[in-house]
Amino acid sequence: MLRKLYLMNINRLLLVCSLLLAGCVSTESDEDLREVTILYTNDEHGWMEGMKSGQSAASLFDVWEKKEGYSPDGPFLILSGGDNWTGPAISTWTQGKSMIEVMNAMQYDASAVGNHEFDFGLDVFKARAEEADFPYLSANTRWRRNGETPTDIGILPYSITMVNDLRIGIIGLTTRETPIATHPAHVRDLEFIALERAVRQTLPEVEAAGTDLVVIIAHVCVDPLTQLIRATADLNIALMGAGHCNELIAENIEDTVLLGGGYHYEAYAKATFTVNKETKEIVKRKFSTQENRFDTENAGISALIARWASQTQALLAEPLAYSNRALGRYSKALQQLIIDSWLLADPTADVAITNAGGIRIDLPKGPIDLGTIVALMPFDNSILALELDAQSIRTALDSGHEPVVAGLEKRRGQWVFTNNGEPLDESRSYRVLVNSFMYAGGDGYWPLSKGDPDAFDTGINYRQPFQDWLEAQGSSEQNPLRL
C-alpha cells in the first residue's frame, strides 16, 4: 500500500514538473515567434479600374486595409507574380507608367518579371523599373553575352526585406516561354535559364545574408511551379507564388505554400507564416484565396486612377463606332472581322494572318472608342508584308499557335483560297501580311522569317486596319453596326 502511494506521488510530481516545463518552453517560444502575412496578386495587366464594378485596385487595397488589417508598418508583404501593365488603354497607352504609380501607391514590396514586362522593349522596362518603389526580380533572366543578371536595366535576382523583425529573402523567376510570349526581338539579347538551376545558384547568396524566411515569386504557371517545388524540396523554400496562367490557388506541397492570385485584380491569395526567430522554423502556416469584393475604395488610390483615366479619356475618347451586340475575344466573328480588315486595307495582299493571342478583350456592345481598340489590341506590333511560297505558308499555319486567317481557309485538311476553293499553287509566291510579333517567331511562327528573310515592315500598327474599318461604317446609336 505504501509503495502504491509512493508511486502515485511520484507520478503526480512528474506530471507537475512536465506541465511546468511545458509552460516554461511555451513562454520562451512565444517570445521568439514572429508572424508575417503575404498578400499576392499576379497578371494585373493594367486593370487598375477593374474589369467589373467593385474590383478595382482601389477596392482591393481597401479590402487589404479593412479586412486584412494591412498597414505599412505591419507584418505584411505585398508581392506580384508579374505581367503588371499590358492591357487596357489606361495602362497600355502610357506603356505602364500609370500602372507603376498605382502599384507604388499600393505599396508593393516586389514583383517578378513577367513576359509582358518586355512588350515595349528593354528601354521602356528600364524606365518603369526606375520609377517603381519596389524591385523587379528574376534570377533566371540573364544577358546572353555573358550569363549575368541584367541589373543594368533594373532586373535583380533577389531582394531582402525586413518584416516584423524577420529577414525575408525574395527570389524572382520568369517563364522560359518569354521569347515567344512577348515580341521576340525585344528579348533577343536575353536568355531564360532553367528554373531549378537559377534557384540553386541564387539561394546560397540569399541565405548568406542571414535570412529567416525565403520565398519565390515566379511568373510561371502552377504545373511547372509544382514540379519545381518537388525538385527543390531539400531547400526549405517557404512559399512559391505563380503567374502567367492566371490561376487562383492556395495549397501546401512538400511543406511549401503555393499561391496564385488569379488575374486582373479580381482576387488575391494570401499566406501567413509564424516563424521561430531563434530556430528559423515555421511553426504555423495558413493560406487561402480571397475575391476582390468590396463596396468602398481607398480614396487616395481611387483619385490616382481617376486622374489617369481622365488623361487617357481625353486622348482616346474619339468615337469610332456603335455596335448592336458584343463579340467575345475568342469568337470567330470578331477574329475574322479583324483579319479581313487587313486585306481590305491592302488589296494587293493574297493572305493575312494574325495570332489569336493578340486580341485581348471582348468587343463591347454599345459605343466603341479608340481606347476600346487599344485595349482590344494593345501591343506595339506592326504589319509586315512577306513574299512566301505555298509550302512556307502551310508550314507557318500548321506550326503557329491559333492562327487567324483571311484569304485562306482549311477544307478537308487542306488550305484553299476562300473566294474560289483553289489550293495554293506550288509554282508561285504570295503576298502575305503578318504582325511583327509573329515574324520574330512569337507563338511558334518561326517559318515566316525563314520563308522570307527580307520582309517589308509597313510601319502600320496591327490594330489600325480594324480601327479604319470601324470608322468607315459610319455607325451610330441610331444606326449601329450589325455584327
Confidence of residue 458 (pLDDT cuts 50, 70, 90): confident
Same domain, 327 and 298: no
Nearest partner of 361 among 115, 174, 54, 90, judged by Cα: 90
Task: State whether 296 and 432 are in the same domain.
Answer: no
Q: Would the CA dihedral through 400, 405, 408, 414 be positive or negative?
A: positive
Answer left, alpha or beta for residue 264, where phi above 0 means left and psi between -120 and 50 means alpha. left
Do 339 and 257 share a structural domain? Answer: no
Tell whether 386 is covered by a domain. Answer: yes
Claim to verify: residue 349 and residue 288 sit in the same structural domain: no
pLDDT score, position 26: 42
Distance spanning both ends of the chain, measured CA to CA: 99
For cell 488610390, the residue is 301
Domain with 167, as residue range(s), is: 32-308
Are 72 and 213 within one domain? Answer: yes
Q: pLDDT at residue 9 above 50?
A: no
Please give the average per-residue pLDDT across 263-281, as a whole number.
96
Q: With beta carbons less than 8 A apart as the criterion, state whether 372 and 363 touch.
A: yes
Q: Point out the domain boundary residue: 308, 326, 345.
A: 308
pLDDT confidence of residue 448 = 96
Question: Do residues 151 and 279 share a domain?
Answer: yes
Q: Residue 2 falls within a domain, yes or no?
A: no
Nearest CA-CA partner of 311 in 13, 465, 90, 54: 90
At residue 264, φ and ψ (nearest 5 deg) are 55, 30
Q: DSSP letters of 28-71?
A: HHHHHEEEEEEEEE---TT-TT-SSTT-SHHHHHHHHHHTS---
276 and 326 belong to one structural domain:
no
Cell output for 54 = 467593385
- Clarify whether residues 278 and 364 are in a common domain: no
Reported as a single tens digit per residue, the pLDDT across 362-418 is: 999 999 999 999 999 999 899 999 999 999 999 999 999 999 999 999 998 899 999
pLDDT tens for each residue of 327-374 = 999 999 999 999 999 999 998 899 999 999 999 999 999 999 999 999
Residue 29 binned pLDDT confidence (cut-offs 50, 70, 90) = low
Over residues 158-166, mean pLDDT: 97
* Domain CATH code at residue 119: 3.60.21.10
Output the pLDDT for position 25: 44
CATH number at residue 341: 3.90.780.10
Q: What's the pLDDT at 28?
A: 42
Position 304 scores a pLDDT of 98
Q: How confident is the model at residue 16 (pLDDT cuts 50, 70, 90)?
A: very low
Contact 258, 226 (CB under 8 A): yes
**Residue 191 CA to chain centroid, in angstroms?**
19
Q: Do both 246 and 343 map to the same domain?
A: no
Q: Does residue 19 lie within any of the structural domains?
A: no
Cell matching residue 230: 518537388
Amino acid in the structure at residue 246: N
- Under 8 Å CB-to-CB from 119, ≥6 apart: which residues? 86, 182, 183, 186, 379, 380
Domain-ending residue, one of 278, 308, 338: 308
Pair 105, 238 in one domain: yes
Domain shared by 108 and 133, yes or no: yes
Going 186 to 190 to 194 to 198, the CA torsion angle's sign is: negative
Nearest to 42 by CA among 68, 28, 23, 60: 60
Does the pTM surpass 0.85? The reply is no
Whole-Å CA distances, 277 to 36, 78, 127, 330, 445: 12, 21, 38, 51, 52
User: Which pLDDT belongs to residue 3?
Assistant: 40
What is the dihedral sign for C-alpha 295, 301, 303, 309? Answer: negative
Mean pLDDT over residues 139-163, rounded? Answer: 98
What is the dihedral sign for C-alpha 321, 323, 327, 333?
negative
Q: Can you tell me the distance from the alpha carbon of 315 to that of 317, in angstroms, rounded to the nearest whole number? A: 6
Q: For residue 445, what pLDDT is reported?
A: 96
What's the number of domains the chain is made of? Answer: 2
